[in-house]
Amino acid sequence: MRPAKVALAAVVAWALLVSAACSSDNGSSGDNSTDFASGGTFTLLAADDPGSLNPFQNIQTPGVSMFKYIYSYLLSIDSSGKLVPELATSWTVDGGTVAFKLKPGVTCSDGSPVTATTIADNFNYAKDPANKAVQIGIIFPDTHFTATPDDAANTLTVKFDTPYGFVLQALSLFPIVCGAGLKDPNTLTAKSSGSGPFVLTKAVTGTEYDFDKRAGYNWGPNGATNDAPGVPNKIVEKIVGNQSTAANLLLSKGANAAQINGPDGVRLTGSSFKSVDSVVGGISMLFNESPGRPTADLAVRKALTMVLDIAQVSATVTQGISKVAGKSLTPAQTACDDSAAVSSIPTGDQAAAESLLTQAGWVAGADGIRAKDGKPLAINASYLTTTAGDAPAMELIATAWKKLGVKVTQQPLDNAGVNTAMFSSGNYDVMPLIELAVPFQSILIGWLSGPNPPNGINTAHISTPAYSDNAKKAIQTPGDAGCALWTAAAKGLYENADIIPMSIMPARYFMQKATFDLWIGRVNPTSIRLLK
Amino acid sequence: MSAVTGNASAGFTTRRRNLWPAFVARRLLRLVIGIVVVVTASFLIMQLVPGDPVRLSLGPSAPFSLVEQRRADLGLDDPLIVQYLHYWKGVFGGDLGSSILTQQSVTSIIASRIGNTVTLVAIALGLTLFFSVAIGVTVGGLTHNGRRPRLLGAYRIVASTLNVVPEYLYGVALVVIFAVTLKLLPVAGDDGFKSLILPSLAISLAPIAGLSRIVRVQTEEVLSQEYIQFARSKRLPALRIYLRHALPNLLTSALTVGGILLGVLVASTVVVENVFALPGLGSTVVTAITQRDYPLAQGALLILGGSVVLVNLIIDVIVSLLDPRSLMRDS
C-alpha cells in the first residue's frame, strides 16, 4: 500500500476526528494583508476521497472535513480548540437543554433563508429511524432529543432527555442542510444544499472536487467572511493518494498544499514550503482480554506495558514528529484534558516485569519462552500498517517483549484486516499501535465497555468498573466535574492495562503561496488565504 | 465472408472451404465462457477478501445496530448464492449497484473513468506494437546471419534489463526527469492528452523491450525463409522485401503476443494510475478494494476483465484476416 494511502486509510478507520493545530509557523492571521492575492484558485491535494457527500450518511473524516466547505454549523471549534459562534450568536446550557440565539440574514446557496425551523428540521431528520442517520449513536448518544424552533424570535431550543456533557462539541460536527437538500437527501451526493462559504460546482469521485466562493457570505465561525483579502475565488481539492506524487505536484507548483507525513516530506523541508502540524488523534495499545487469551491475564498486560519505552515508540511511529509518550486516548480534543490519568500507567523496569510474570506463574522454559500450565506465552501482535513508522515501531515493541521471554507473532494488517480481527475473528492478543481519532471521550464508551461482538462493539472484552461506572456518569456531566470523571475513567483503564496511550496521530501539511489553519487535521476553509 | 485462398508470399494454398463460421462460433463460445469466468471471479474475489465493508465505511465506533441495519439494506446478509444471482441480474440489466462508500451508481463512476483507462491502454498498446516491431525488425535485419554480434549482445542486455524493470519505477523516473526537472509534462492528474504521455510510456517500456526480442527472433526466422531469399535473388529493394514480404508474416506473431500483453498493460494501469493520480479504472480498483467497496470493485474488475476478453477476440479476428493460415490451424 502506498504510504499516502495508508496515512489516509488510517484516518478513515475511525469514525471522525477533531484535531488542534499543535504548531503553526504561518497562520493566516499573522500575515500582512498586502501580501494577499486577489481572487485566484487554491489547489489542495487530499489523500482520500470524501465518500458520500450526504452529511447524514457519512461521518468519516474526509467527508466531515469537506462538509465544512459547503455547510454551516450552529457553532464551531477553532484551531485552538475553543468553541466559537457560527449560525448561533450565543447559547446557554441548562442540564439537557441548549438554547441558541440565531444569526439573522443567513441564506442558503439557492437563496432560501436559514431559519430556526430549517435547523430544527435537521435534528428531526437525524432522529427519524427511517433515515438511518450515522450521527446517531456516534456524536449523539441516542434519538431522545427534541428541537423546538421559534422563527419569530430567531431562537432554537434543543432538549436532550438525558444531559449530555459533550453536546456543544457534538453540535459543532452537525452540518445544517438546507430545505431543498433535506427534502431529497439523495441529491446531496452530487450537489450541495448548504449555507457554507463555498458551493460545490464539480464532484468527480476519487478525482476532484471544485468549490466556488459564495458572494456575501459573512456568517462564518467567529465572524469569518468571504470579503476578507486573500480568500480564493475557487477551491480545487484533488484526490492524490500517493504521497510521492503529492510531493512532486507541490515541487512542480501544481498545488498549494498537501498533507505529507512520511519520508516524502523531507524533499519539501527546507525548501520554499512552509509546514503546519496538527494532532489528528491518538495511537494506543489495546489488549484483547477475551477468555483464553494470554492477555486476559492482568500480570501479562502490565508486564508487557512496563518494559516498553513508550516515548521511543512514539518517536518511531510518528517518524520523529512526536518524541514524547502519549498522554491521552483522545489527545486531539480540547473539551476535556484527561492527561493526568497517565500517572496510572503501569511502570517498572525489566526485572520488575519479569518478577510480575514469574509470580503470576509464567515461568521461562529451556527455550527461553515463558509458559504457564504448559501453555507458552505466545502473543499475536496485530498492527495497522498505515505509515512508514508502524513496522519499525512494532519491531521495537516486539524486541522488548521477546526479552521478557514472550513469543511474539507480528501481524501487519490494513484497516479492513483490523476490523476483521476486532469484529469478526477476534484473533489478536494485542494491537499495539491502533489509531483512535475521535472528537471526545464519550464516543469510546461502547468500544471500551459493554457487550462484545456480535452484540456490541467492545471488541477487547474490557470489563473495568472503574471505567464504565465513571464514564456512565461523565457522559451526563458537563464541565469540569464531567472532565474529572473522564479522567477517573481513563485511570481505571490504564491501571488495568486495558488500553495504553502510546503517541499522537500527526498530520503535517506543506503549503506554498497560501496559508490556512487546520480543523480536524484538515484545512479549515474559512481560514484559507492565497498569497502573492 | 472471405474464403481462404492462401498466402501468396508464402506460396501457401489450400482447398476453398469457408472456415469463418466455425471460427466465429468458437470465438463467441470462448467469449461467453470468458465473460462468465470474469463475472464470477470479480464477484468471488471480493467476497473472499476479509473485511466488512459496512464496518469499514462507518468506523469501529459505529453502533452494532447501525452496522447490522446497513448490511441488511445492502443485501450483504443474504446467502452468497442469492447475492451472486442478484449480481448477474444486475449485470444483465446494466445495473452494477451503488458504491457503498459514495452511494453513487457504479455504472456512472465507471463511465466517468473508463475513458482515461481505455485511452491509456490504447496508446500503450500502440506504442508497444509500433516500437517493438520497429526495433525488433531493425535489430533482426542488422544482425541476421551472425552479423554485428556486438550489437546483438548489447541489444540483448539492454532489452532484458528494460523488460524486468517494474512499471512504477519507470513512472517515478519519468516524472523526475520530464515533470519535476524539465517541467515538460504534468506530474500527475487528469489534464488532457499530455497527462497520458508519461503513464503510457511507463507501462509500455517493459512490454516494448520484451516484445521486440520476440520480433527480432521472428525476423531472423522470416529472413531465412526461401521466399525472402528468392526475393533477394530477384534484387528487390530491401525496403520492399521488409515491408511487403517480411512484415506481414511478423505482424501476426506480434499481434498475437500483443493480445496477451494487453492483459499485462491493463494490469499495469492499476499501479500506474495511482502513481500518476490518473482517474481511471485501475485506480478505482485499488481504492475500492482497499475500502472493501464490493459493488465498485466488482464493477471495475468486470469491465477491466471483460475488455481484455473482448479485445483478445478482436485481435484473433485481425490475426485471422492478416494470416488466413491461422484459420486452418485454429480449425
Per residue, what are the HEC states of A264-288?
Answer: CHHHHCCCCCEEEEEEEEEEEEEEC
Selection from A30-44, A214-228, B88-102 with the highest mean pLDDT: A214-228
pLDDT level of residue B15 (50, 70, 90 thresholds): low
Which of A18, A30, A157 shows the shortest CA–CA distance to A98?
A: A157
The model's pLDDT over B198-252, given as tens digits with 9 standing for 90+, comes to 999 999 999 999 999 999 998 888 888 888 888 888 888 888 888 777 887 777 7
Q: For B186, which DSSP code?
A: -
The cell for B175 is 516524472
Higher pLDDT residue, A353 or A7? Answer: A353
Q: Which residue has the higher pLDDT, A378 or B230?
A: A378
A388: exposed, middle or buried (Cβ count in 10 Å: 0-12, 13-18, 19+): middle
pTM as predicted: 0.79
Residue found by looking up cell 450552529 in the block: A74
pLDDT at A15: 32
Closest CA of chain A from B51, distance in Å: 5
What is the reported pLDDT for B230?
85
Residues of A whose CB is below 8 A from B190? 207-208
For the ranges A240-249, A322-331, B41-50, B115-124, the lowest mean pLDDT is seen at: B41-50
pLDDT at residue A173 tops 80: yes
Q: What is the DSSP string of A339-359?
A: GGGGGGS----HHHHHHHHHH
Mean pLDDT for A189-203 is 90
Residue carrying C-alpha cell 439523495: A186
Per the CB < 8 Å rule, is B274 touching A242? yes
Nearest-CB residue to A248 (from B64, B109, B180):
B180
CA distance A181 to chain B (A): 16
How many angstroms separate the Cα of B292 from the Cα of each of A387, B267, B277, B298, B302?
20, 19, 20, 10, 16
Residue-by-residue DSSP string for A407-441? EEEEEEE-HHHHHHIIIII---SEEEEEEE--SSG
Q: Which residues of B touch A2 (CB under 8 A)?
A: 274
Lowest-confidence region among A459-468, B56-65, B263-272: B56-65
Q: What is the largest CA-CA distance in chain B?
A: 85
Per-residue model confidence as pLDDT tens digits over B275-328:
888 889 988 888 888 888 888 998 998 898 888 888 888 888 888 887 777 777
Assess whether pLDDT exceeds 70 at residue B173.
yes
Q: Is the pLDDT of residue A22 over 50?
A: no
- Please tell me which of the candidates B176, B179, B274 has its beta carbon nearest to residue A2: B274
pLDDT digits (tens, 9 = 90+) for A100-118: 999 999 999 999 999 999 9
Task: Kindly state the average pLDDT of the residues A457-473.
Answer: 95
Q: Go through the domains of chain B in sequence order and give each one's CATH number.
A: 2-48+96-330 (1.10.3720.10)
Residue A204 bridge partners (DSSP) = A208
DSSP state of A318: T
Mean pLDDT is highest, among A10-14, A331-335, A364-368, A496-500, for A496-500
Residues of chain A with pLDDT > 90, as a percent, come to 61
Which is more confidently placed, A493 or A479? A493
Tell me whether residues B188 and A240 touch, CB distance under 8 A: yes
Choose among B55, B63, B276: nearest Cβ to A245: B276
Number of helical (H) and strand (E) elements in chain A, helices listed first: 15, 24
**Predicted confidence (pLDDT) per residue in B142-170, tens digit:** 998 888 999 999 999 999 999 999 998 99
pLDDT grade for B51, boundaries at 50, 70 and 90? confident
d(CA B237, CA A129): 83
Tell me what pLDDT residue A61 has. 81
Pairing of strands A41-46, A234-239: parallel
pLDDT number for residue B16: 59
Distance from CA of B305 to the nearest CA of A (A): 21
- How high does pLDDT run on average in chain B? 84
| Nearest chain B alpha carbon to A457 | B64
**Cα distance between residue B79 and residue B97, in whole Å:** 17
Q: Which residue of B has its CA nearest to A238?
A: B189
ipTM of the complex: 0.71
Give CA–CA dist A466/A447, Å, rounded.
Answer: 15
Coil, helix or strand at residue A106: coil
Q: Do A189 and B103 touch (CB under 8 A)?
A: yes
Distance in angstroms (rounded) separating the CA atoms of residues A204 and B108: 10
The one-letter amino acid at B6: G
Among the ranges A12-16, B133-137, B242-246, which has the highest mean pLDDT value?
A: B133-137
Q: Are A287 and A460 in contact (CB under 8 A)?
A: yes
State the Cα–Cα distance between residues A169 and A458, nearest whole angstrom.
24
Average pLDDT value for chain A: 88
- Minimal CA–CA distance to B128: which of B263, B222, B249, B238? B263
How far, in Å, CA of A329 to CA of B232, rounded?
83
Give dist(CA A255, CA A240) in Å, integer: 11
Instruction: Please tell me which residue of chain B has the smallest CA distance to A52.
Output: B102
Region class of A81: left (phi > 0), else alpha (psi between -120 and 50), else beta: left
Which three-class secondary structure state does DSSP give residue B30?
Answer: helix
pLDDT > 60? residue B13: no
pLDDT at B92: 87
Nearest CA among A106, A124, A265, A269 for reference residue A182: A124
Under 8 Å CB-to-CB from A174, ≥6 apart: which residues? A73, A74, A122, A126, A135, A139
Instruction: State whether B66 and A443 contact (CB < 8 Å).
Output: no
Closest by CA position to A406, among listed A305, A502, A496: A305
Q: Looking at residue A6, what is its pLDDT? A: 29
User: Between A189, A204, A459, which is nearest B112 by CB?
Assistant: A204
Q: Taking CB atoms and an 8 Å limit, are B59 and A457 in contact across chains? A: no
pLDDT, residue A7, reads 30
Question: Which of A52, A138, A248 comes nearest B61 by C-beta?
Answer: A138
pLDDT above 70 (res A11): no
Helix (H) or strand (E) segment spanning residue B165: none
Q: How far is CA A216 from CA A67, A179, A213, A292, B289, in A?
A: 19, 20, 9, 63, 42
> Distance from B275 to chain A by nearest Cα, in Å?
6
pLDDT at position B331, please? Answer: 65
